[in-house]
Each structure stands twice: as structure tokens, then as C-alpha cells.
Amino acid sequence: MNGWYGKVLRVNLTNQTYIIETVDSQFAKDYIGGRGWAIRYLMDGMDPKVDALSPENMLIFATGPLTGSPAPTGNRYMVVTKSPLTGVLSNSNSGGDFPTWMKRTGFDLFIFEGRAEEPVYLWINDDQVEIRPAGHIWGKQVPESTDIMLAETNPKAKVACIGPAGERLVKVAAIMNDKDRAAARSGVGAVMGSKNLKGVVVNGTHSIGMADLEGMKKLSLSMQREIGEASKTSNLRIYGTAYVPDVTNEMGIFPTRNYQSGRFEGADKINGPALNASFLIRPGACYRCPIACNRITKVDAPGYEGEGEGPEYESIGALGGACGVDNLAAITKANYLCNELGIDTISAGMTIACAMEMYEEGIIPESDIGQPLNFGDADSMITFVKKMGLREGFGDKLAEGSYAMAESYGHPEFSISAKKLEFPGYDPRGAKGMGLLYATSNVGASHMAGDLAYAEVFGTPKKIDPLTIEHKPELIARFEDAFTLIDSSGLCVFLAVRHVFDDDVMLWPTRLTELMNLTTGAGYSPESLLKAAERVYNLERMFLLEAGITREDDTLPPRMLEEPLREGPAAGHTVELDVMLPLFYKVRGWDENGVPTREKLHELDLA
Amino acid sequence: MKVQLKLIASYRDFLPPENEGRVEIEISEGVTAVAILKDLGIQIEESVILVDGRSPNPDETLQDGSVVSAFQATAGG
């Protein structure tokens, strides 16, 4: 087989044993790789109803066929598991170096099952798999933990690990890799912690075969050059994703005070130019990436000292605007703390924002929190990021995520989330396609499940009206399938959306098909590749239905459905989900309860 | 009439640095956002243009107090 190794490492942490399984080429092709393979393994290997923190949950690290290939940004991996935060699927994605090094071990996927009796870490070095004691690392933060594991194995290896947050089963805990990169969302770090698995260290000498090595090298090199050249003057290189607050604020969709507004008066102080003028040292890149959107930063401001990577737009939105905080030093420091403790910055910021609003409304008593917690209080935002990561005091409640926290006070409506996953930084009342996405995605409110903001906000491939609902069902279904493809292939979204789909808003994967065929030789057409993505998406939906999701869960908070924005270009707007959702089900070939029909499942070879 | 220009991120470079992408300009009736931005040397096909935060109709003329913003049409975050 080319592109795929067709080899899966399955580790039983309870028995401290492992086996190597092979994968046949039809399976490989039908499920593409990465996220696609992972859902098939989940559906075949576990009961979707199990407790996500029980040994019965499966934790999968999944590379795609383009991970470790010559393709530019062929360097992503997925963490797929049942989420302890949402009770539905996790599809968390990360870059850095770890994914390419993982591919060098000679395995496409790692599956971690059961639970180790004592903390352990895994050292996977070509065909050598060791389960090593991690008791002496347990409790340590991500950077120090990473350094210890590298010193004990090979300084040239790469590490994915949890920090204290994952160890303490914080429901919004992340799995960090290369210290600063995060498979952040859905509490995947807590699943890893529940298995007493501190880290995974990878190194190796294997590489995937290429069906057409010369063709792949030629295409990859020309893409690398073209994108590298264009990136020199691109916002992502110059400012990182931090350029976005000015855009979303202008559109009136920037998360502000727990989504009470879409216009933040402090947006100017926490944007890309502000970051460049204050804390940016230089751009950074994931392995061989021509875009280089990472921010290598350092803060010297007293009380906020630190260094590392970020902040990204989503972190600025959640820890900044959503909390009413316009102090960039504080936001950057909070972002470093999230990386060190191993927490999702989006869920952390949005959970604190939820608590801020409920405190100001008099619903959460000050005695529960231990101090005031007002919007705009940067230092308190930082305090509660720390307490959340360590489950200290009121942080223990925040660690459950905004929905559980708000529900415990009898007011779940203050949690701005869908399927209990906190919103990313685009107010759907001013970007209605995103509203349909948040309500329908198989992981809950994630922009990465089908980021129509590319078109509604950023004009790529072209600008569409964010305030209309016509055609959004078809667009969201196609974007969801396209992003399923990206997540299954191993490419980064920042390259893929612009460069491997045709220049049309219905994202047709011509060049992606070419890259997949040059790599795997599997003979995909754009149609069959999209069909495979649709297969994966529908199988994920079946997982959700078996886990207990119903049509009632395909929804948004009352604020999005009933409270119009009061200022900005989207003033007066709510999300007309009641109109879009039935049309979406039809487009998907599902019945009126959001269940894939027999015909649809048959068409996709799922029944 | 007066309109506000907000050039976002890399587009700040179309104005002197001290402007930080902002300038108030005097225009006459019938001027479009596209015309103003073209005059500054901005490539319209590569841009997202907003008037008061919304996409303008192609022949839409500006009002007194309109805010015209523009930025590279690339990727998000």
C-alpha cells in the first residue's frame, strides 16, 4: 500500500499489552484516513453510551495519508474519542511536529484502550513500543513534562502529553504537543488522564510509499513555492490569526461579554497590530509549513511575565472579548497558562465568561466564587484559568465546562454552547451559516467542523452574505464534508480551503483528489472522495444517535434564537434555525428527526 | 460628505503608519467604496470590502458617515 502503511497500533493500558493490526486497502480507501478511519474503529470497538472517562472509551491518535508526505502542511493529526464534556464525538486536530514524527513510527493510527493502574507514558520508536512509568512526571506542567520524557527517550523525538488539567479530569482539558500546539477541544485531555496516560513519545525511520513519487514531489514543490511566496504578504504570516478581531468586530460578530454583544469597544487593543507592537518576537511554523502563522511571543509586563506561542484569534475572543477583557498582556498570559496546564483556551474563556454573566446577574453568589468576578477583570480571568486547570475552589465547578456549571445553578441558558461545546469566535446571529454549523456538527459548536466563515467573513473562495439563510443548508453540508476530507487527509485547513479545492464556494476537491491519488494510487475521483467524506460524516452521526442525541440537541442557546443583536451591522438579527434545520436534514438525506434514512445509509455502504 | 476609512491588518500599509489604518475623507455624492479603495492602489478582486460592516451592492453609493473597511481575502482563525 502507498500513502497508508495499513498498520494500526492498539495498546491495552489495563493489561499493558499491545498488538499491531493490519488494514486492507478497501477499508483504507473507503474511510480515507485520519478522522475517517478513527470513527470506523470507534463504532466497531466501543459502545457509544459508555462513560467517556471509563476504561471502555477508546482514545485514538490518527494521521492521514498526506501526513508526513511531501504535500505542504501535510503535518496534522486528529484526536478522536468520546468527549467527557459533550457526550458526543471529539475530533480535535493539531499540527506542530508531532504528527510527522508519529508517521515515522510506521503506524497510521494509535488506539489506546483500558486504563493503566498507575501513570504511564508510551515510547513508540519504530517497531519498539514501551510502556514506561510516569509517576515522577505526574503533576508536572506540559513544558517540563515534555522535557523529562525527551531526556528519558531521545531528544530528537516528539511528545504529545497532558498537563495537570488532563490529570485532574478537567472536562475542558487539552492534549498538548510540542509544548505549544493543542488538540484542544472537547476535553480530550481528560480522556487521556482517565487512562493514566501522561504522554506519548514518538520517533522513527519509516516513511510512507508514494504511488507517484515524482509527480507528488513536483506538485508539492510548486505549491510550497507559490504559497510560500504569497504568504510573505499574507495576514496570517504578518499577524497570525490575531488579525481577525478587527474583521469580526467590524461585522459586529466579535464575542463580547458572553455573547451579549458582537461589538467590543476594546478590540483595537487586542488585535494583530497590537500584538506585533508589544509581544511578538517572530512568526513560527509547524513542520515545513510555508504559511507560518504561529506567533512566538514574550511578555515582560509585570504580573504577566511569560513566553511561548500565541495568542490565536480564538484565544483572544474567548479570554478577551467574551470576558470583556481588553488587556492583551493578560490575554497572552492566560493563553500561556492554558498551554502549560493543558486547557482549551476557547472553553476556558467562554466558561469564565458564563460565570461572569451569572455572577453579575446575581445567580452565582460571591461566596461560591470566593471573590467578585466581573466582566473586564483581567486578573480574575487569569486567576480562574489557573483554578480551573487545577480544580481549585470555584475552579472545580468551572472545570466541568460552562453548560454543567450553569445548569448546576438552574440556568443552563447562560452557557453559550451547542451540544455543550462552547462557541468559537463568530456570533452566528451575524453569520447564520455558522449558526447552522454549530447546531449540526458532530462535535458540537466547532468552527473547524465546516468553517463557512471562510466565505461569510473572509471572502474565500468568495464573499457570501452572512445575514441570509438561503443556500446555507447546502453550503454547510458541503463545508462539513470538505472539512471531513481535510481532517481525514492530514492537511492543514489554512492551506487546504484555498489551495486544494476549486475556486467555488461549493468546495469541489479537484486538487485534493490529485494529491490523494499521487500519494495512495487509490484512484479516487472528486465524487468518490466526497462520497467517502459523506460516509464518514454519516457514521459519526450514527455514533451520536447511538450515544443518545436526538433532533432536540441540534439546537442553539436561546440567546441566539430569541435575543437579537442590539448593535452593529447585524442588529435585529437572530439565527433562523427553525427554517434552516429541516432543509439541512433534507440536503443530508435524513428524516425529519435528523436520522440518516435507510436509502442514504445504503448509498454510502453503511447498511 | 465625510466617510471613515478603516483599512484592516496588512491593508494599513496603504496609509501612512501613524494613521493605523484609519482616515476620515471628504467625498462627493455618487462615490462608491470601490472607487475610493482603487484610488489607494488596493486590488479589489483580492479584497473583502465592507460598508458599515456589510457587503455593499456593486453600485451602492456612500452616505455621510459611512464606514468603509477593507482587508485581504485570505483565511481565518
Give me the pLDDT at residue A1, please.
92
Nearest-CA residue of chain B relative to A249? B53
Give me the pLDDT at residue A127, please.
86
Instruction: Sketch the domain layout of chain B as residue ranges.
Output: 2-72
Nearest-CA residue of chain B relative to A273? B9
Question: Of the candidates B26, B21, A246, B12, which has an alpha carbon nearest to the alpha carbon of residue B36?
Answer: B26
Q: Is B31 on the interface with A (CB under 8 A)?
A: no
Compute chain B's Rg from CA coordinates. Answer: 12
Cα(A323)–Cα(A144) distance, integer angstroms: 29
> Which residues of chain A approach chain B closer than 8 Å at the C-beta?
233-236, 238-244, 246-247, 250-252, 272-273, 312-314, 425, 447, 451, 453-454, 457-460, 463, 465, 467, 493-494, 497-498, 568-570
CB contact under 8 A, A243 and B69: no
Q: Which domains does chain A have, with CATH numbers?
A: 7-203 (3.60.9.10), 233-421 (1.10.569.10), 427-603 (1.10.599.10)
Q: Does the pTM of the predicted model rise above 0.95?
A: yes
3-class secondary structure, A550 = coil
Computed over every residue of chain B, the mean pLDDT equals 93
For residue B46, the distance in angstroms to the closest alpha carbon of chain A comes to: 9
Is the CATH code 3.30.930.10 the one for domain B2-72? Answer: no
Residue A261 pairs in a beta bridge with A256
Give me the pLDDT at residue B74, please.
77
ipTM of the complex model: 0.97
User: Going along A243-401, which residue ranges are E strands?
Assistant: 280-284, 294-299, 306-309
Residues of chain A falling short of pLDDT 50 = none
Give residue-wise pLDDT tens across range A596-605.
999 999 999 9
Give residue-wise pLDDT tens across range A96-105.
999 999 999 9
Q: Do A380 and A372 form a contact (C-beta atoms < 8 A)?
A: yes
Cell of A289: 509549513
Chain A residue numbers touching B77 (CB-CB < 8 A): 240-244, 312-314, 425
Nearest-CA residue of chain B relative to A317? B77
For residue B76, what pLDDT band results from cuts at 50, 70 and 90?
low
H or E stretch at A541: helix A526-547
Q: Examine the pLDDT at B77 and tell me if it is beyond 80.
A: no
Chains A and B: how many Cβ contacts under 8 Å?
A: 89
Cα(A16)–Cα(A403) distance, integer angstroms: 36
Enter the DSSP assignment of A317: I
The residue length of chain A stands at 607
Give residue-wise pLDDT tens across range A189-199.
999 999 999 99
For residue B75, what pLDDT band results from cuts at 50, 70 and 90?
low
